Amino acid sequence: MGRGASDGDRIELRGLRVDGVHGVLEEERLHAQPFEVDLDLFLDTEPAASADDLAATADYAAAADAVVAVVTGPPRRLLESLAAAIADRVLADRRVESVTVVIRKLRPPLAHEVASTGVRIHRRRVGGAGPGRGAPEPGRGAPESR
């Protein structure tokens, strides 16, 4: 029997950089700016490990394509909204039980020099059918950033 996502199985995607037009300020909505996204896809990897078969697991290339589609898609004001849309797209893969999305704005319009601002959200499938919002994973929350 597989260990499953509840035991910590995950597929990681780190540092996906995508240009998009998102933000509260008008200047942010006029020109594309760089965003960086990390994903943790929680799922049972045992079937794929046993079969050595991509069809038995979540495809991280498809997850990356989902991120790019959302970030290059319609503008959103808040990173929270952008991250939630990414989570919903990733959870469309029924093999993914939950997902953590980290999104960073690499050139935030601040008066102070910072490397980035961002949000981290965790969403889990509700009732085993379709995307949904679960409680944040303990210790995984981040202050709201825009």
**Domains of the chain by start residue, with CATH:** 5-124 (3.30.1130.10)
Closest Cα partner for 39 from 146, 123, 138, 136?
A: 123
Q: Which of 36, 35, 44, 37 is nearest to 11 (CA)?
A: 44
Per the prediction, the chain carries an average pLDDT of 86
Among 113-117, 119-123, 137-141, where is mean pLDDT lowest? 137-141
Among 54, 131, 47, CA closest to 96: 131
Q: For residue 98, how many other CB atoms are within 10 A of its CB?
A: 21
Supply the residues annotated as catalytic: 105
Instruction: List, for residues 6-49, the tens digit of each pLDDT value.
Output: 568 999 999 999 999 999 988 888 899 999 999 999 999 999 99
Residue 89 to residue 126: CA distance in whole angstroms = 14
